[in-house]
Structure 1
């Protein structure tokens, strides 16, 4: 959520978040992040303005 708080108007893809945060970009790691982003989306913290894109709910 820190990346979304620092860039509230920006849309991110899961792989872009990994690169921004210096995390490994292997497919397994990115898939875990996708699952977490999906949970945050369902909980109402994020929106999904396009397929695979996530943005902080304003």
Structure 2
């Protein structure tokens, strides 16, 4: 029963997705995800700790 229910939900979701993509102005998800990935990388680089401090801490621990 579980496989049939899962298969039905996958098929129904695919059919609804195809209908929406053909009849409505749906955004391009690849571009949407790519733009937010770039924004996330940019934010991560801005707030990243400097590498110099990490290297100095490792050197002092090893000494």
**TM-score category of the 2 structures, normalised to the smaller one:** 0.3 to 0.5
- Greater share of helix residues, 1 or 2? 2
TM-score (norm 1): 0.33
Ranked by relative contact order (alpha carbons within 8 Å, sequence separation 6 or more), the top structure is 1
Larger Rg: 2
- Greater share of strand residues, 1 or 2? 1
TM-score (norm 2): 0.31
